[in-house]
């Protein structure tokens, strides 16, 4: 394994400290979520940053299993997703919009996996 050093804001360092052992997996996940065909895309300049930002802020705070099960994107992000889905059905999407819709699908898939694990964790803690 290669060692890398990153300069991050103090607040982010504090949030990452409890997840130190998970950092390689978190970085791999973040890279996998970048839009295909845009290897140098940044989350800040990406039109899909709303979904990413909400997901990252939520996960970085060490959500409990119950919080993971209850998680939903904000009404604004949900409205944007509905807009993209409607436009895709009616007239089709431009490449950037298709990439944005794919990002929502990736975030949704990630949360399906997280929620499945959260349910298993809760079941293990509370056997019936």
Residue 105 belongs to some domain of the structure = yes
Residue 3 belongs to some domain of the structure = no
Residue 19 belongs to some domain of the structure = yes
Residue 1 belongs to some domain of the structure = no
Please give, one letter per residue, the 3-state secondary structure of the chain.
CCCCCCCCCHHHHHHHHHHHHHHHHHHHHHHHHCCCCCCCCCCCCCCCHHHHHHHHHHHHCCCCHHHHHHCCCCHHHHHHHHHHHHHHHHCCCCHHHHHHHHHHHHHHHHHHHHHHHHHHHHHHHCCC
Domain membership of residue 48 as a residue range? 10-125
**pLDDT tens for each residue of 29-88:** 777 766 555 554 444 444 456 888 888 888 888 889 999 999 999 998 999 999 999 999
**What is the per-residue pLDDT for 72?**
93
Number of domains, the chain: 1
Residue 2 belongs to some domain of the structure = no
**What is the per-residue pLDDT for 68?**
94
Residue 87 belongs to some domain of the structure = yes
| 11 compared with 93, residue with greater pLDDT | 93
Residue 86 belongs to some domain of the structure = yes
Q: pTM for the whole thing?
A: 0.62
Residue 5 belongs to some domain of the structure = no
**What is the per-residue pLDDT for 43?**
43
């Amino acid at each position: 394994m290669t060692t890398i050093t990153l300069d991050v804001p103090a607040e982010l360092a504090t949030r990452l400290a409890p997840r130190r052992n998970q950092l390689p997996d978190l970085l791999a996940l973040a890279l996998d979520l970048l839009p295909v065909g845009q290897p140098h895309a940044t989350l800040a300049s990406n039109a899909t940053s709303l979904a990413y930002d909400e997901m990252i802020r939520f996960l970085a705070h060490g959500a409990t299993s119950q919080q993971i099960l209850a998680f939903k994107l904000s009404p604004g992000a949900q409205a944007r997703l509905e807009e993209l889905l409607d436009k895709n059905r009616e007239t089709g999407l431009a490449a950037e919009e298709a990439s944005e819709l794919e990002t929502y699908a990736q975030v949704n898939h990630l949360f399906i996996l997280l929620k499945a694990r959260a349910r298993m964790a809760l079941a293990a803690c509370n056997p019936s």
